[in-house]
Amino acid sequence: MILAILEPAKGALTEASWETLTAARDLAHKSNDSVTALMIGKGVNALAPTVKGIHTVLVAEDPRLDSYVPEAFAKIVSEVITQRSPKIALAPGTETGNDLMARVAARLNLGLATNCVEFSVEGGSLKRVTRSNWGGSLLEELEILSSPILLTLAPHAIAAQSADGTTPTVETFSVSVSEKDFRVRIKELIPTQKKGISLTDAKVVIGGGRGMGSAEAFKMLEELASLLHNAAVGATRVATNNNWRPHSDQIGQTGVQIAPDLYIACGISGAIQHMVGCKNSKKILAINKDPEAPIFQRADYGVIGDLHQIVPALIAELKKLKGA
């Protein structure tokens, strides 16, 4: 059996959960096995019927688990694995999914391959996985010697596919968590007020790097963004470490991952750390005065020149167009 651990959020399963189910069905198909999905939390009974095309849905419903309770969730997953002996247990490689599976791996003293992007099944069994290293700029082929095999699936590594056919059997998994399992818990949720267009929602993102030279210079990127539809301003790690921009504006491996239609990189050399954060942009336009800058090897459009002249000229031209 292949166990797919799903993430309910706000009364539905997350996109990463559907991707995980798709990967689990594919693994089961290639190894002539069946899939059991596990859902934990308050209200998961109602979500069970939304899943199709697998053998069983296990629901661990408990009113105390109305948000992620790390140790309680890890205890339940560990118990399911111990009792049902899956060959593989797979969860989404999200913040929560990686946190959960690392706790499960520690409890069961098993290996865990996080953020897998590819699976290699030979002769009916999973031999190797390919996982993301350096935020996805390198891939690592890995053999997993411990069993059962624990995996998380990198978000967007495979596209979620809907399945029809079999309506799975829904089984209740009785939850046996105690006070001790709640020693790590959320005390409070503080919602953030959304202001402006976020980097992840913007259709055009304008990024500034070392070549900006100062916090002041970012004002012209803000002005440029204000002249475009649905545009936002981001920065590199160099810019945030220099306090030119807040860390929340950082695009990169340790910041935000963006996927706009167009990314305009201004004065950015193209460090791996940064490119990991913008590689899902449909098009990348780089403005840099150094024709040898690595970013030109990873961009669709290149402009060679000084951004401090080009950006103001672009702003002037856009204003002229608006005025016309």
Partner 1 sequence: MKVLVCIKRVPDTGGGFKLTSDNMRVDTTNVGFAISPHEECAVEEAIRIIEKHGGSSTVLTLGPQAAQEQLREAIAKGITSAILLEAEDYEFWDPAATAHAIAETVKPLGFDILLFGNESADTCNYQVGLRVAHLLDLPCVTGIKALEIQDGKALAKRETKDGWEVYEVALPAVFTVKEGINTPRHPSLRGIMSAKKVPIEQKKVTKPAPQLVRKALKKPQEGRHLEILGQGVDAVPKIIEKLREVGAI
- 3 state SS of 249: helix
Nearest to partner 1 of 13, 262 (CB atom): 262
Cα→Cα distances 177→47, 78, 81, 133, 240, Å: 22, 12, 16, 35, 43
Amino acid identity of 164? D
Binds partner 1 (CB under 8 A): choice among 64, 84, 128, 156: 128
CB 71 within 8 A of CB 99: no
**Contact status: 201 vs partner 1 (CB under 8 A):** no
Nearest to partner 1 of 139, 172 (CB atom): 139
Q: Smallest distance, Å, CB 145 to partner 1?
A: 6
- Annotate each residue in 225-244 with x if it binds partner 1 (CB under 8 A) or - if it does not, as one string: ---xxxx-----x--xx-x-
Binds partner 1 (CB under 8 A): choice among 161, 169, 186, 196: 186
Measure the CA–CA gap between 15 and 83, rounded to whole angstroms: 28
Tokens matching residue 306? 């000084």
Stretch that binds partner 1, among 31-39, 41-49, 167-175, 309-317 (CB under 8 A): 309-317
Stretch that binds partner 1, among 32-40, 80-88, 212-220, 280-288 (CB under 8 A): 280-288
Closest among 252, 50, 42, 275 to 168, alpha carbons compared: 50
**Contact status: 248 vs partner 1 (CB under 8 A):** yes
Q: Smallest distance, Å, CB 229 to partner 1?
A: 5
CB 180 within 8 A of CB 117: no
Task: Please count the residues of this chain forming the interface with partner 1, following the rule CB under 8 A.
Answer: 93
**Contact status: 272 vs partner 1 (CB under 8 A):** yes
Cα→Cα distances 205→34, 42, 74, 251, 283, Å: 43, 38, 38, 10, 11
Q: Smallest distance, Å, CB 300 to partner 1?
A: 5
Instruction: Looking at residues 142 to 181 of the shown chain, list those that interact with partner 1 (rule: CB under 8 A).
Output: 142-146
Residues 162-174 as b/e (b if ≥16 CB within 10 A, e otherwise) read eeeeeebeeeebe
Nearest to partner 1 of 58, 265 (CB atom): 265
Stretch that binds partner 1, among 43-51, 164-172, 215-223, 259-267 (CB under 8 A): 259-267
Q: What is the number of residues in the chain?
A: 324
**Contact status: 302 vs partner 1 (CB under 8 A):** yes
Instruction: Looking at residues 25 to 54 of the shown chain, list those that interact with partner 1 (rule: CB under 8 A).
Output: none
Under 8 Å CB-to-CB from 216, ≥6 apart: which residues? none
**Contact status: 114 vs partner 1 (CB under 8 A):** yes
